[in-house]
């Protein structure tokens, strides 16, 4: 499992190519040759870049869903809409397909942000707005998500 660290700003050229930040390339060096899957995010107007091994683990889980339940089939279709296999070229660039650029509202300035085992790719303005929107109630969110009851026995 890849555990990524960092948030980096970069620029996309007119063709939708971005230079992969050196720090991410180093962290991903063991999986660069396997390629990546690029997809629309579920909850935010950004893209998610999965190392191929991480994508395959996720697909193993999704493959266990019963396809004879309409909601499962609808979810799989929506989740995989626009999915693309991408590679970092020899110059260290990643090409973002036009339909995904459009989905994420990507202009020239980007933010690449680690999200544990994937990289989120954001338009810089959208990223700053998303961070700002969460900032107000982040303490409450952190407590709700991570503040599980202590499981300490005083025996």
Residues in the chain, how many? 155
What's residue 50's pLDDT? 96
Angle between helix 124-135 and 138-146 (nearest 10): 80
pLDDT tens string 17-50: 999 998 888 888 888 899 999 999 999 999 999 9
Instruction: Give me the pLDDT at residue 32, please.
Output: 87
Q: Which CATH number fits domain 7-146: 3.40.50.720, 3.40.50.150, 1.10.10.10, 3.40.1550.20?
A: 3.40.1550.20
Nearest Cα to Cα of residue 121 among 28, 34, 11: 11
At 129, give phi and psi (nearest 5°): -65, -45
pLDDT attached to residue 143 = 82
Q: What is the pLDDT of residues 103-142, one digit of tens each?
A: 999 999 999 999 989 999 999 999 999 888 776 677 787 7
| Strand partners for 9 | 111
Domain boundaries, the chain: 7-146
pLDDT digits (tens, 9 = 90+) for 65-114: 999 999 999 999 999 998 999 999 988 899 999 999 999 999 999 999 99
Are 118 and 55 spatial neighbours (Cβ–Cβ below 8 Å)?
no
143 or 52: which carries more pLDDT confidence? 52
Residue 95 in 3-state DSSP?
Answer: strand
| DSSP conformation class of 80 | T
Which pLDDT score is estimated for 150?
A: 58
**Cβ-Cβ contacts under 8 Å for 104 (sequence gap 6 or more):** 40, 41, 45, 46, 47, 121, 122, 123, 126
């Amino acid at each position: 499992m890849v555990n990524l660290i960092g948030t980096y700003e970069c620029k996309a050229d007119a063709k939708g190519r971005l230079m992969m930040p050196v720090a991410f390339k180093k962290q991903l060096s063991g999986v660069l040759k396997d390629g990546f899957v690029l997809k629309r995010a579920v909850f935010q107007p950004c893209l998610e870049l999965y190392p191929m091994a991480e994508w395959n683990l996720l697909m193993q889980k999704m493959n266990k869903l019963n396809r004879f339940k309409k909601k499962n089939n609808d979810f799989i279709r929506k989740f995989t809409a626009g999915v693309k296999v991408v590679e970092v070229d020899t110059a260290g660039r990643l090409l973002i397909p036009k339909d995904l650029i459009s989905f994420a509202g990507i202009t020239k300035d980007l933010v690449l942000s680690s999200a544990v085992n994937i990289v989120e790719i954001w338009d810089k303005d959208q990223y700053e707005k998303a961070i700002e929107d969460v900032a107000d109630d982040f303490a409450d969110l952190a407590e709700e998500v991570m503040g599980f009851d202590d499981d300490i026995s005083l025996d």
